[in-house]
Amino acid sequence: MKRTLTVCPYCGTGCMFYLVSYNGRLVGVEPSSTHPVSRGGLCVKGWNAFAFVHHPDRLTTPLVRRDGMLQAASWDEALDLVVDRLRAVQKKHGADAVMFASSAKATNEENYLLMKLARAVFGTNNIDHCARLCHSSTVTGLAETFGSGAMTNSISCIDQADVILVIGSNTTEQHPLIGSRILNAVRSGTKLIVADNRRIRLARQAELHLRHKNGSDVALLNGIMHVIIAEGLADREFIAARTENYAALAESVADWTPERGAAATGLEAAEIVAAARLFAGGERGMIVYSMGITQHSHGVDNVRCIAALAMLTGNVGRPGTGVNPLRGQNNVQGGCDMGALPDLYSGYQKLSGPLLRDKFARAWGVKRLPSEPGLPLTRAMDAASAGHLQAMFIMGENPMLSDPDQGHARKALQNLELLVVQDIFLTETAALADIVLPAACYAEKEGTFTNTERRVQRLRKGVEPPGEARADWEIISDLAERAGYHGMRYSGPAAIMDEIAELTPIYGGIAYDRLDPYGLQWPCPDRSHPGTPILHLDCFTRGLGRFTTVSHRLPAELPDEEYPYVLTTGRSYFHWHTGSMTRRTHLLDREEPRSFIELHPDDAARLGLRDRDELIVSSRRGELRTEARVTEMVIPGVLFMPFHFAEGAANVLTNNVLDPESSIPEFKVCAVRLWRAP
């Protein structure tokens, strides 16, 4: 038996475990008992993370579409074709006719290389990744208020909090080891407030469960801040010493009385008052949030309110406090850190700065780099659908199931002159591609992932990739070479990290020889720096924290006579996103084998539906067939559906309307109707 210490490929919690292999085959995993996050535990996905690796569906050879069919090809043929066809599209339509989609499943080194390929080799800033669908509202909102869009504190800070507000995060199912840490804290006396109208596991342990209307968080948070100010519970010293623009905030929430808040949220005024007193009453108050906050057409406004609440109560820069956006994918923090974003280089360095552009151009050995910001992923799909974008290179994403409004996504992808997909399985998106490149998965390569608490950790190769599959970083380097660029010859991922460290101040001290056993938390500016568990200690990254005021905007599509129900979408415990990995993991797929929709017993009775009945759900975008799950998890009038299943895909229904600032889609609210299937 061989044991290889590596990082879980699923969620941003970043547990580490040992891959156990025998004769070159994985047979299981063992948790790491000393790891600061996993501490000997794993969730069911972690325990099963070895199972998809040897699945017979793994891609083993490049595929090229000939006579309408994807057929096996050599690496030479496939990679030359990718370069020739990308160049041809650019010659005909310009450099920005091509979009690169990077991957929060790939390593830091791979994200860095793809962004380098896009910018230095193909001369476009059209690079983005699934953070656009996820925490782009956080990156925008916290950059403006704090100067840095990452989780301010560490996971271990949960143990020190007096009160935790969990808002729009189903933590026990989506970040299980963080969820259980919160439950432990509650057992030792920490007060818990849950603001989420689903009766999630944490809600059952909460002192206060606020079941407000979907999309009414600005009203809720403004109401809470109103009470805190009116009752003299604000932290005046912190506000005076560390923040600016407080007067504007105080004025803007002055008319958000609990009564007005109640009318806008559907809560009782007393609940808003109680939440304000409970949160402001703790010496150390922590806010934990996720997609219930970000995935709205006013996602950035939600984040601004969260930042304001934390500053108002002096809850930044100390243990047990902070604004803690839980990052979803194993390496979505890293994807952002590495600059797989249309307007930023690695380490959030703005490409609008000419000096920074020069720095990167010199380091990469190119004359000039493009200066105009590229397209966000969601806008790129709109552009493709309208015929304004001609080629996409997608590494490790499955937009056919994960993008809003599947009809729109399909049209966008089918409109392209060239679609290249680099994945480990033939996904719904890869099936539409002209060229498919087989990638090695996490267990078959070296590199680093950065978890939600900014911890950069090493993954290690446990087994060989199947067939001819190659690591993403090797494929990208080879593409660069074939495109005539010779600045991507690396001895391995450690050497790529050395280049990242040189160009990226927050990663300046990150080097492989320093990452054993359990990584370092950025900012880590130099080799002697021990890493940073808590941000904004004495001052904010931007200097003073900035209060910004927001007014309450409703979701873009609300229920009406024709479509009387609110649909909110999200995830389940057993499956991962588009199911490419978990639906190929027997023990997980057995638990949750098919698409379903949660509805309240009152609604079910009105519609004549019973648990497990087949039903049809329809929105202005499309309709699908699924199974009723009658449950008090949801409130009357609201339905919940996970988006994991290709048959019964929630994104057939969702609304492709974007937050104007972050370009995130409104996955959390759209209007639908439903009826029993004939």
Residues forming the site for ligand SF4 (CB under 6 A): 8, 10-11, 13-15, 38, 42-43, 45-46, 175-177
Residue 18: CB minimum distance to ligand SF4, A: 13
Q: Which one, 46 or 545, has the nearer CB to ligand SF4?
A: 46
Q: Which one, 326 or 674, has the nearer CB to Mo ion?
A: 326
- Select from ligand MGD, ligand SF4, Mo ion, none the partner in contact with residue 15, using the beta carbon and a kind-dependent cut-off of 5 to 8 Å: ligand SF4
- Select from ligand SF4, ligand MGD, Mo ion, none the partner in contact with residue 14, using the beta carbon and a kind-dependent cut-off of 5 to 8 Å: ligand SF4
Q: What x/- string results for residues 283 through 322 when contact with Mo ion is judged by CB under 5 A?
A: ----------------------------------------
Measured CA to CA, the distance from residue 606 to residue 563 in angstroms comes to 15
- Select from ligand MGD, Mo ion, ligand SF4, none the partner in contact with residue 379, using the beta carbon and a kind-dependent cut-off of 5 to 8 Å: none
Residue 390, both tokens: 């001609």
Residue 19: CB minimum distance to ligand SF4, A: 13
- Select from ligand SF4, ligand MGD, Mo ion, none the partner in contact with residue 42, using the beta carbon and a kind-dependent cut-off of 5 to 8 Å: ligand SF4
In the list 317, 328, 404, 665, the residue contacting Mo ion (rule: CB under 5 A) is 328
Confirm or reject binding of residue 220 to Mo ion (CB under 5 A): no
Residue 167: CB minimum distance to ligand MGD, A: 5
Q: Which residue is nearest to Mo ion (CB)?
A: 328
Measured CA to CA, the distance from residue 657 to residue 298 in angstroms comes to 10
Q: What's the maximum distance between 2 C-alpha atoms anywhere in the chain?
A: 73
- Select from ligand SF4, Mo ion, ligand MGD, none the partner in contact with residue 13, using the beta carbon and a kind-dependent cut-off of 5 to 8 Å: ligand SF4
Residue 242: CB minimum distance to ligand MGD, A: 27
DSSP 8-state assignment for residue 273: H
Q: Which one, 9 or 147, has the nearer CB to ligand SF4?
A: 9
Name the 3-class secondary structure at 429: coil
Residue 205: CB minimum distance to ligand MGD, A: 15
Confirm or reject binding of residue 179 to Mo ion (CB under 5 A): no
440 close to 463: Cβ distance less than 8 angstroms: no
Name the 3-class secondary structure at 332: helix
Q: Which one, 176 or 642, has the nearer CB to ligand SF4?
A: 176
**Closest among 327, 321, 348 to 537, alpha carbons compared:** 321
Measured CA to CA, the distance from residue 455 to residue 155 in angstroms comes to 10
**Closest among 405, 497, 484, 490 to 448, alpha carbons compared:** 497
Q: Which residue is nearest to ligand SF4 (CB)?
A: 46
Residue 42: CB minimum distance to ligand SF4, A: 4
295 close to 301: Cβ distance less than 8 angstroms: no
565 close to 674: Cβ distance less than 8 angstroms: yes
Q: Which one, 454 or 470, has the nearer CB to ligand SF4?
A: 454
Q: Which one, 250 or 341, has the nearer CB to ligand MGD?
A: 341
Confirm or reject binding of residue 326 to Mo ion (CB under 5 A): no
Q: Which residues of 273-301 are buried (b: 16+ CB within 10 A; e: fewer)?
A: bbbbebbbebebbbbbbbbbbbbbbbbbb
Q: Which one, 169 or 190, has the nearer CB to Mo ion?
A: 169
Contacting residues toward ligand MGD, per CB under 6 A: 11, 45, 103, 105-106, 130, 133-134, 167-170, 173-175, 195-196, 198, 200, 214-215, 217, 290-292, 295, 328-329, 395-399, 402, 422-425, 427, 439, 441-442, 472, 568-571, 573, 575-578, 580-581, 643, 650-651, 654, 667-668
Beta strands in 515-622 (DSSP E): 520-521, 545-546, 565-570, 596-599, 614-618
- Select from ligand SF4, Mo ion, ligand MGD, none the partner in contact with residue 200, using the beta carbon and a kind-dependent cut-off of 5 to 8 Å: ligand MGD
Give the strands of the sheet with 285-289, arranged side by side.
208-210, 191-195, 163-167, 285-289, 322-325
Measured CA to CA, the distance from residue 241 to residue 232 in angstroms comes to 17
C-alpha dist (Å) from residue 397 to 93, 106, 236, 394, 535: 25, 10, 46, 6, 31
Contacts of 593 (CB under 8 A, 6+ apart): none
- Select from ligand SF4, Mo ion, ligand MGD, none the partner in contact with residue 105, using the beta carbon and a kind-dependent cut-off of 5 to 8 Å: ligand MGD
C-alpha dist (Å) from residue 487 to 120, 366, 480, 482, 647: 9, 9, 8, 12, 44
Name the 3-class secondary structure at 453: coil
- Select from Mo ion, ligand MGD, ligand SF4, none the partner in contact with residue 382, using the beta carbon and a kind-dependent cut-off of 5 to 8 Å: none
Q: Which one, 38 or 331, has the nearer CB to ligand SF4?
A: 38
In the list 26, 70, 117, 134, the residue contacting Mo ion (rule: CB under 5 A) is 134
Residue 63, both tokens: 């595929």
Residue 654: CB minimum distance to Mo ion, A: 14
Q: Which one, 11 or 106, has the nearer CB to ligand SF4?
A: 11
Alpha-carbon dihedral of residues 603, 604, 605, 609, nearest 10 degrees? 150
Name the 3-class secondary structure at 473: helix
Whose tokens are 């656009």? That residue is: 132
Q: Which one, 179 or 508, has the nearer CB to ligand SF4?
A: 179
163 close to 279: Cβ distance less than 8 angstroms: yes
Q: Which one, 14 or 570, has the nearer CB to ligand SF4?
A: 14
Residue 329: CB minimum distance to Mo ion, A: 6
Name the site residues for Mo ion (rule: CB under 5 A): 134, 328
